[in-house]
């Protein structure tokens, strides 16, 4: 196997020209018009927000722009740079220095702005807005979902361009071209299966092709067993099964390419079901929990210190780490359990919501604040309930709290 085959194919075969970006012809026309407005020196908007599902070409078209126009690409990921200080320290020095590679201009790309910004990161959002208002170079943001209320101020400053899922035929054509260039024999049925499994995500399809092609000159349908079904992202039972029963690290890692994978939820599911799947091998159980524990440590550090570069290590530990245990028992069908921790949290959340709703209704009728109702009135109702349940229930009913919600007020 040549060393070139070790390179990520999504990078090796990334388009060098805008016209080579697959699909989304209308979006490409809008994007080209916006880029040309910068070339003419009169941009209608200083920033463009490209939005759409993963693998639809949002990032690739910006890379192609930099290559085609000989512009320096200044690229940061919102997952790694969240604070005002971090954004300014990463972007502004690059804008103020001359390129050493003879580039004729610059373009800024900030990826995945919708996935990480929270109330705690408001400084980062403010810094982006300031950057948009002051930039003298094209600025491109990408997002899967731009309609989050927290992104409203960003949306107002950007030209919105929608990218849609790539069609199956286009994905198959790209995969076929890659196979030809890599000297790999691959039936059309195999390309069709990979494209179907990718569900419009070209990047995922290319990753899948590379995963099954490692060390092979011919790919058959049997080789596709290493891939996890992308539809399983809607079914955590299947995601857990893929991780715990995969025969190879690649098979377990395949779930990390699911567009909507909730890695924190996956940790809870694995924590609940490792013993059931790996019994009676104590060694396998111990190794799996060691990997899960190390992932949890890194996840806590990542959140506490905003070290988002640790996320890939967390993902590998909870997939390949948990799956690649010693003395792994033979496959057996196991009925997985919903995490008890999540079940309890859900129950508590429901109780709290019902309690708050009932308290607000009673406070309104009594013309007091909800805090006064809870601290100065409710304790007496609960005391009455211990001696005379019927009378206490009449009081609650007079306050608009019917029988079905009374228990939440009395017990919460």
How far, in Å, CA of 230 to CA of 233, rounded? Answer: 6
At residue 263, the pLDDT reads: 81
Peptide bond into 280 cis (omega under 30): yes
Q: Would you place residue 83 in the very low, low, confident or very high pLDDT band (cuts 50, 70, 90)?
A: low
Structure tokens at 149: 């209320």
At residue 287, the pLDDT reads: 93
pTM of the model: 0.56
Structure tokens at 210: 């590379």
Segment 219-226 mean pLDDT: 74
Q: Would you place residue 5 in the very low, low, confident or very high pLDDT band (cuts 50, 70, 90)?
A: very low
Annotated binding site for ATP: 52-59
Q: Are 287 and 352 in contact (CB under 8 A)?
A: no
71 DSSP β-pair partners? 105
Residues 127, 65 within the same domain: yes
> Domain with 95 in it: what CATH number?
3.40.50.300
pLDDT single digits (tens) 85-136:
667 777 777 777 776 677 788 999 988 787 555 444 556 677 888 888 888 8
How far, in Å, CA of 200 to CA of 174, rounded? Answer: 12
Give domain status of residue 353, yes or no.
yes
Residues 53, 38 within the same domain: yes
Residues 205, 70 within the same domain: no
Give residue 210's domain range.
Answer: 166-226
126 or 273, which is more confident?
Answer: 273
Give the total number of structural domains in the chain. Answer: 4
How far, in Å, CA of 401 to CA of 21, rounded? Answer: 60
* Neighbouring C-beta atoms of residue 330, cutoff 10 Å: 5
End-to-end CA distance of the chain: 64
Annotated binding site: 52-59
Q: Are 113 and 73 in contact (CB under 8 A)?
A: no
Q: Are 252 and 220 in contact (CB under 8 A)?
A: no
Given 287, 319, 338, which residue is the final one in a domain? 338
Residues 84, 106 within the same domain: yes
């Amino acid at each position: 196997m040549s060393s070139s085959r070790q390179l990520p194919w999504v990078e090796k075969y990334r388009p060098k020209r805008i016209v080579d970006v697959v699909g989304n012809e209308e979006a490409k026309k809008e994007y080209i018009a916006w880029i040309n407005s910068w070339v003419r020196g009169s941009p209608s908007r200083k920033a463009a927000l490209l939005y759409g599902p993963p693998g639809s070409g949002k990032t690739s078209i910006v890379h192609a722009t930099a290559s085609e126009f000989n512009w320096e690409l200044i690229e940061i990921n919102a997952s790694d740079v969240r604070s005002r200080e971090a954004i300014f320290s990463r972007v502004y020095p690059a804008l103020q220095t001359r390129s050493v590679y003879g580039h004729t201009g610059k373009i800024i790309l900030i990826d995945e702005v919708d996935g990480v910004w929270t109330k705690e990161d408001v400084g980062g959002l403010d810094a982006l807005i300031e950057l948009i208002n002051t930039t003298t170079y094209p600025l491109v943001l990408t997002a899967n979902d731009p309609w989050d209320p927290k992104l409203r101020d960003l949306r107002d400053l950007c030209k919105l361009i929608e990218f849609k899922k790539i069609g199956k035929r286009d994905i198959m054509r790209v995969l076929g071209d890659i196979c030809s260039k890599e000297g790999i024999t691959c039936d059309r049925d195999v390309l069709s299966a990979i494209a179907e499994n990718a569900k419009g995500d070209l990047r995922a399809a290319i990753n899948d092709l590379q995963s099954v092609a490692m060390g092979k000159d011919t790919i058959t349908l049997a080789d596709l067993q290493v891939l996890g079904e992308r539809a399983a992202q809607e079914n955590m039972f299947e995601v857990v099964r893929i991780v715990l029963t995969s025969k190879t690290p690649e098979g377990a890692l395949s779930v990390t390419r699911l567009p909507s994978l909730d890695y924190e939820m996956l940790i809870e599911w694995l924590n609940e079901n490792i013993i059931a799947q790996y019994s009676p091998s104590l060694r396998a159980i111990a190794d799996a929990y060691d990997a899960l524990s190390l992932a949890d440590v890194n996840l806590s550090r990542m959140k506490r210190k905003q070290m988002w570069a640790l996320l890939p290590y967390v993902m590998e530990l909870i997939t390949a780490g948990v799956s690649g245990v010693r003395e792994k028992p033979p496959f057996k069908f196991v009925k997985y359990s919903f995490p008890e921790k999540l079940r309890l949290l859900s129950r508590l959340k429901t109780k709290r919501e019902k309690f708050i709703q009932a308290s607000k209704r009673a406070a309104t009728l009594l013309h007091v604040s909800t805090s006064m109702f809870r601290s100065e009135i409710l304790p007496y109702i609960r005391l009455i309930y211990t001696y005379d349940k019927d009378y206490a229930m009449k009081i609650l009913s007079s306050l608009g709290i019917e029988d079905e919600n009374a228990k939440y007020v009395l017990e919460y």
